[in-house]
Chains A and B, each alone.
Chain A
């Protein structure tokens, strides 16, 4: 079946640093989504991408839909302590199903 490979698995950074994470797929996706999960909560949608090459920002977050349609990237600029959490990528190829990556755990040191 379809698989998503998300990296890195975890990051421990200093407050103020920029963060990059990415997802790669074994097959083409038509939609890429990025979610954040705070401890004890459900995932919350951060950014949705619908077109190859699309670059979308949400505050300090920027995500890109790779032109091969097999990858996506999320960048967080000038990290702050409340950025702590697990970040998930998710992709869909219009089958009605959403496939999730394994998650990137981010820790920010004040």
Chain B
């Protein structure tokens, strides 16, 4: 089944403790992206990757890192999480950067205390 998977689905952590949220797609998509969803703000893009080893900042990149060493994986790293990063995070992928029909993962709900 074609899908985008994220792990973990739920995470509660403390300020400053480094964490990684994994994202994997099995559709051979070139383009992958991370969003955060906050009430009243919709989905805001954190980082995106047009292909392996190519990443770029989205609208809200501060406090996040990403890497794209393989086509299928695009992990999101929070080196020192803070409470304002408490949010619902989505990974998405599409065939290429010029193909805008993005497929979303199920989401990761992160709480930072």
A-to-B contact residues, CB < 8 Å: 1, 4, 6, 9, 31, 33, 35, 40-45, 48, 88, 90, 92, 94, 96-98, 100-103
Contacts and interface: CB of A to CB of B under 8 A. Distances in A.
Nearest to A32: B100
B interface SS class: strand
A31 B98 CA distance: 10
Contacts of B90: 42-43
Given A42-B107, A43-B104, A45-B101, A97 B58 contact: yes
B101 A102 contact: no
Given A33-B101, A92-B100, A97 B43 contact: no
A4 B41 CA distance: 10
Interface in B79-113: 90, 92, 97-98, 100-107
B101 A48 contact: yes
Contact of B43 (A41, A92, A96, A100): A100
Interface residues of B, number: 27
Interface stretch (B12-20, B44-52, B66-74): B44-52
Given A88-B43, A96-B97, A102-B42, A44 B102 contact: no
Contacts of B59: 1
Interface string B2-46: 001000000000000000000000000001010100001111110
Contacts of A90: 43, 100
Contact of A41 (B41, B48, B50, B106): B106
7 contacts: A42-B106, A43-B90, A48-B101, A96-B31, A96-B56, A97-B48, A100-B43
